[in-house]
Amino acid sequence: MAVSKSEGCNWYVFAYWLRDYKTFKIKTLMDERTCLMSFKNKFVNSKLIAEKYVDQWRANPDWNFAGMSERLRTDTNVDASQWQYYRARNVVIQMIEGAVKDQYSKLWEYGAELKRMNPKHFSYLQVFTPTK
């Protein structure tokens, strides 16, 4: 059973699961809404937002709250708080920096493999780390 939590709203639906068909069958529906639609969803958290939009953040590191909020609402009809945005941004930064650290650690393995495969050739690996 699903019921609207808004005060004074009469909307509800009662359904049961049909195991053979793997679907729900609606038994009772009160479709008269006297309340506004809510865009809050307690299952949308910062980690979910980060995983969904990591590529967007990677392409545009300066993506701000207004842009993220608009995109999230357009894609999923869900609102996010400013705190969820900041936490999601931090998760994305950790994801991106973790990927960079993994790639950086493989440079030395790559250098060793070059030496192993080409023992007569000289290989030199020099790494520059950018400063902020």
What pLDDT, in 10s, does the model give residues 64-123? 888 888 888 888 888 888 888 889 888 988 888 887 778 878 888 888 888 888 888 877
Whether pLDDT at 14 is above 80 = yes
- Residues 56, 34: one domain? no
**Overall average pLDDT of the 48-62 stretch:** 89
Give the whole-number percent of the chain exceeding pLDDT 70: 92
Query: Residue 23 carries which side chain, given as an amino acid letter?
Result: T
Kindly tell me if the per-residue pLDDT of 49 is higher than 80: yes
Q: How far apart are CA 69 and CA 51, in angstroms?
A: 15
Strand partners, 26: 15
Q: Residue 63: its pLDDT value, please? A: 87
Q: Do 73 and 100 belong to one domain?
A: yes
Q: How many domains does the chain have?
A: 2
As a whole number of angstroms, the distance between CA 114 and CA 45 comes to 44
Give the chain's mean pLDDT: 83
pTM, two decimals, is 0.51
2: helix, strand or coil: strand
- 29 & 81 share domain: no
| Strand boundaries in the chain, DSSP class E | 2-3, 12-18, 23-30
The answer on 69 and 51 residing in a single domain is: yes
Are 34 and 44 contained in the same domain?
no
Burial of 74 (0-12, 13-18, 19+ CB in 10 A): exposed
pLDDT at 37: 65
The answer to whether residues 14 and 51 belong to one domain is no
Same domain flag for 59 and 23: no
Is-contact 35 6, C-beta < 8 A? yes
pLDDT(3) > 80: no
Question: 47 and 33, same structural domain?
Answer: no
Per-residue pLDDT at 25: 92
For residue 81, what are the domain limits? 40-132
Strands, sheet with 23-30, edge to edge from the N-terminal-most edge strand: 2-3, 12-18, 23-30
Same domain, 59 and 84: yes
